[in-house]
Amino acid sequence: MTFMQVTLQLFEGFKITCLIFIITLVFSLPLGLLVTFGSMTRFKPIRWLTRTFVWAIRGTPLMLQIIVVFYIPGLLLGWSSLPRLTAVLIAFIINYAAYFSEIYRGGIESISRGQYEAGQVLGMTKTQIFFKIVLMQVVKRIIPPMSNEIITLVKDTSLARVIALAELVMAAQNIVSAKALIWPLFYIGVFYLVFCGVLTLLFGYIEKKLDYYTV
């Protein structure tokens, strides 16, 4: 195979990698916020249930979670297996929602109680305090850990190959097996480096835009 043929074949796997990345972010970011509210609620059953969920997800490997989502419904309930991409997306969304929820919670809890009290003194509702006083401070504080987690997501997409979903790494492995070429396995590093580099620049730009807001 020529260099261009290998590149085009790897791009097919890279499309799956990008699809996993984008859909995971779109759904896990808001879901993580809901999990955060559940873990911070004063209603103890929901708080305990939510924190147990986060503990279980953070305490087990993402690879295992993908396998569970793909195989367990069929083994326990006799259902047909989920489509491979669907199973991967469900596992990724749940996993990253749990991690994002802890980042959100840390950001919210880092805001001093005095700022909430100041908003109440001004006659603001809890919703107004959150969106007009707290939110931007939280966003500023969570950008660094969120950027780190999102860049980790780029590399975690390679775990999709555990159920034979042809993302970037598996596309390279297929070439190695079929054509006895080893260099495509190293070549995919360029794809990941460029992807992560673009995200690093993007988050650096966002951090600079938020520099005007200091606490």
| Band (180; pLDDT cuts 50, 70, 90) | confident
The whole-number average pLDDT for the span 201-207 is 92
Q: What is the 3-state secondary structure (H, E, C) of 38-95?
A: HHHCCCHHHHHHHHHHHHHHHCCCHHHHHHHHHHHHHHHHCCCCCCHHHHHHHHHHHH
pLDDT of 104 strictly over 60 = yes
Q: What angle do CA 171, 177, 182 make, to 5 degrees?
A: 80
| Band (123; pLDDT cuts 50, 70, 90) | confident
pLDDT confidence of residue 214:
53
Q: Read off the pLDDT of residues 6-26 as tens digits, 9 standing for 90 and up.
A: 999 999 999 999 999 999 999
CB 147 within 8 A of CB 203: yes
Distance of alpha carbon 179 from alpha carbon 118, whole angstroms = 67
CATH level 3 topology of 10-209: MetI-like fold (1.10.3720)
| Band (126; pLDDT cuts 50, 70, 90) | confident
pLDDT confidence of residue 130:
79
